[in-house]
Amino acid sequence: MADLSVQIGELRLKNPVLVASGTFGYGKESAHLTNLNALGGIITKSVTLKPRDGNPPHRIVELPAGMLNSIGLANVGVEVFIKEKLPFLNGLDTTIIVNVAGGTAEEFLAVVERLENEEGIDAYELNFSCPNVREGGMEFSQDPRVTANATAMVRKATRRPLLIKLTPNVTRISDIARAAKESGADAVALINTLVGMAVDINTRRAKINTVTGGYSGPAIKPVALAKVYEVACHVDIPIVGIGGIMNGNDALEFIITGATAIEVGTANFIDPRTGERIIGELGDYSQRNGVQSIREVVGTLRAA
Amino acid sequence: MVETFDSRAGFFECPILSVNNLSDAIYLMRLYSPTIAKNSYPGQFVNIKVNDEFIPLLRKPFSVCRRDAKNGWFEVLWKIVGKGTEVMSRLQSGEQVNVLGPLGHGFTISKDLELAILIGGGLGVAPLPFLCVELLKAGKKVEVFLGAKSAHELAFVDEFLQMGVEVFITTEDASVGEQGLITELLIERLKQKSRPGKVTFFSCGPTGFLNSMIRVSENFNIAGQMAIETMMGCGFGICVGCPVRVRDPQPGERLYKLTCVDGPVFDAREVILHG
Q: Mean pLDDT in each 10-residue stretch from start to end of chain B (275 residues)? A: 51 96 93 95 97 97 97 97 94 96 95 96 97 97 96 95 97 94 94 82 96 95 95 95 94 91 95 85
Beta-carbon separation of B233 and A66 below 8 A? no
pLDDT at A133: 63
Describe the crossing of helices A144-157 and A105-116 by its angle, rounded to 10 degrees.
20
- B103, B124, B146 — which closes off a domain? B103
User: Is residue B244 one of the residues assigned to a domain?
Assistant: yes
Q: Which residues of B touch A34 (CB under 8 A)?
A: 8
User: Is residue A140 one of the residues assigned to a domain?
Assistant: yes
What is the spatial distance between Cα A185 and Cα A149, in angstroms, rounded to a whole number? 11
User: Is residue B202 one of the residues assigned to a domain?
Assistant: yes
The complex scores an ipTM of 0.94
Among residues B63, B75, B133, which one has the least CA distance to residue B104? Answer: B63
- B55, B70, B103 — which closes off a domain? B103
What is the spatial distance between Cα A60 and Cα B242, in angstroms, rounded to a whole number? 8
Beta-carbon separation of A269 and B8 below 8 A? no
- Residue of B98, B238, B255 with shortest CB distance to A30: B238
Give the helix/strand (H/E) hosting A125: strand A123-127
Contact A14, A296 (CB under 8 A): no
Contact B63, B75 (CB under 8 A): no
For an interface test with B, give the residue of A33, A76, A273 to mutate (most B CBs within 10 A): A33
User: Is residue A62 one of the residues assigned to a domain?
Assistant: no
What is the spatial distance between Cα A184 and Cα A4, in angstroms, rounded to a whole number? 26
For an interface test with A, give the residue of B48, B234, B250, B258 to mutate (most A CBs within 10 A): B234
Chain B residues with a Cβ under 8 Å from any Cβ in chain A: 7-11, 49, 54-59, 82, 98, 100, 230-231, 233-234, 236-245, 254-256, 274
A29 to chain B nearest CA, in Å? 7
Among residues A45, A65, A4, which one has the least CA distance to residue A282? Answer: A4
At B229, the amino acid letter reads E
Q: Tell me whether strands B256-258 and B243-246 are parallel, antiparallel or unpaired.
A: antiparallel
In sequence order, the 6+-apart residues with CB closer than 8 A to the CB of B64 are: B36, B40, B42, B44, B45, B46, B74, B75, B76, B101, B102, B127, B130
In whole angstroms, how far apart are CA A215 and each of A59, A173, B174? Answer: 12, 17, 44
Q: Are residues B96 and B161 in the same domain?
A: no
- Residue of B9, B98, B239 with shortest CB distance to A269: B239
B182 to chain A nearest CA, in Å? 25
CATH number at residue B18: 2.40.30.10
- Residue of A34, A71, A218 with shortest CB distance to B241: A71
User: Is residue B204 one of the residues assigned to a domain?
Assistant: yes
What is the spatial distance between Cα B213 and Cα B145, in angstroms, rounded to a whole number? 12
- Residue of A23, A55, A64 with shortest CB distance to B55: A64
pLDDT at B253: 85
CATH number at residue A118: 3.20.20.70
What is the spatial distance between Cα B228 and Cα B207, in angstroms, rounded to a whole number? 8
B43 to chain A nearest CA, in Å? 21
Among residues B129, B122, B144, B121, which one has the least CA distance to residue B25? Answer: B122
Q: Which residues of B touch A271 (CB under 8 A)?
A: 11, 49, 98
User: Is residue A130 one of the residues assigned to a domain?
Assistant: yes
The SS3 of residue A278 is: helix
pLDDT at B5: 46
User: Is residue A67 one of the residues assigned to a domain?
Assistant: no
- B103, B134, B157 — which closes off a domain? B103
Domain residue limits at B239: 115-272
In chain A, the number of structural domains is 1
pLDDT digits (tens, 9 = 90+) for B163-180: 999 999 999 999 999 999
Q: Which residues of A touch B234 (CB under 8 A)?
A: 268-270
Half-sphere CA count of A128, side-chain side, radius 13 A = 37
Among residues A172, A170, A168, A129, which one has the least CA distance to residue A151? Answer: A129
For an interface test with B, give the residue of A42, A62, A250 to mutate (most B CBs within 10 A): A62
pLDDT higher than 90, residue A189: yes
Q: Are residues B50 and B153 in the same domain?
A: no
Q: Please, is A236 exposed, middle or buried when counting C-beta atoms within 10 Å of its C-beta (0-12, 13-18, 19+)?
A: exposed
In chain A, % of residues over pLDDT 70: 97
pTM for the complete prediction? 0.95
pLDDT digits (tens, 9 = 90+) for A81-94: 999 999 999 999 99
Give chain A's mean pLDDT: 95
What is the spatial distance between Cα A190 and Cα A193, in angstroms, rounded to a whole number? 9
User: Is residue B148 one of the residues assigned to a domain?
Assistant: yes
Average pLDDT over residues A185-213: 96
Chain A residues with a Cβ under 8 Å from any Cβ in chain B: 22-25, 29-30, 32-35, 45, 53-62, 64-67, 69, 71, 74, 217-219, 246, 266, 268-273
User: Is residue A64 one of the residues assigned to a domain?
Assistant: no
Among residues B49, B224, B206, which one has the least CA distance to residue B121? Answer: B206
Contact A30, A94 (CB under 8 A): no
The nearest alpha carbon in chain B to A33 belongs to: B8
Half-sphere CA count of B35, side-chain side, radius 13 A = 19
Average pLDDT over residues A211-236: 98
CATH number at residue B157: 3.40.50.80
Q: Catalytic pick from A82, A130, A166, A237?
A: A130
Beta-carbon separation of A59 and B57 below 8 A? no
Q: Are residues B149 and B172 in the same domain?
A: yes
B113 to chain A nearest CA, in Å? 33
Domain residue limits at A238: 6-54+72-196+216-296
Q: Tell me whether strands A239-242 and A187-190 are parallel, antiparallel or unpaired.
A: parallel
- Residue of B54, B241, B274 with shortest CB distance to A60: B241
Q: Are residues B166 and B259 in the same domain?
A: yes
What is the spatial distance between Cα A89 and Cα A98, in angstroms, rounded to a whole number? 10
Q: Are residues B151 and B64 in the same domain?
A: no
Q: Are residues B119 and B156 in the same domain?
A: yes
State the count of interchain CB pairs (< 8 A) between A and B.
102
Query: Quick check: is A233 catalytic?
Result: no
What is the spatial distance between Cα A299 and Cα A259, in angstroms, rounded to a whole number? 7
For chain B, give the secondary structure using H, E and C.
Answer: CCCEECCCCCEEEEEEEEEEECCCCEEEEEEECHHHHHHCCCCCEEEEECCCCCCCCCCEEEECCEEECCCCEEEEEEECCCHHHHHHHHCCCCCEEEEEEEECECCCCCCCCCEEEEEEEHHHHCCHHHHHHHHHHCCCEEEEEEEECCHHHCCCHHHHHHCCCEEEEEECCCCCCEECCHHHHHHHHHHHCCCCCCEEEEEEECHHHHHHHHHHHHHCCCEEEEEECCCCCCCCCCCCCCEEEECCCCCCCCCEEECCCCCEEEECCCEECCC
What is the spatial distance between Cα A150 and Cα A128, in angstroms, rounded to a whole number? 9
pLDDT at A140: 82
What is the spatial distance between Cα B174 and Cα A79, in angstroms, rounded to a whole number? 58
The total number of residues shown for chain A amounts to: 304
Q: Are residues B18 and B54 in the same domain?
A: yes
Q: Are residues B24 and B134 in the same domain?
A: no
In chain B, the number of structural domains is 2
Beta-carbon separation of B9 and A33 below 8 A? yes
Contact A65, B42 (CB under 8 A): no
User: Is residue B110 one of the residues assigned to a domain?
Assistant: no
What is the spatial distance between Cα A287 and Cα A291, in angstroms, rounded to a whole number? 6
User: Is residue B167 one of the residues assigned to a domain?
Assistant: yes
The alpha carbon of residue B60 and the mean position of all alpha carbons in its chain are separated, in whole angstroms, by 14
pLDDT at B8: 39
Q: Are residues B119 and B249 in the same domain?
A: yes
Beta-carbon separation of A61 and B231 below 8 A? yes
What is the spatial distance between Cα A263 and Cα A21, in angstroms, rounded to a whole number? 9
User: Is residue A65 one of the residues assigned to a domain?
Assistant: no
pLDDT at A132: 65
Q: Please, is B103 exposed, middle or buried when counting C-beta atoms within 10 Å of its C-beta (0-12, 13-18, 19+)?
A: buried
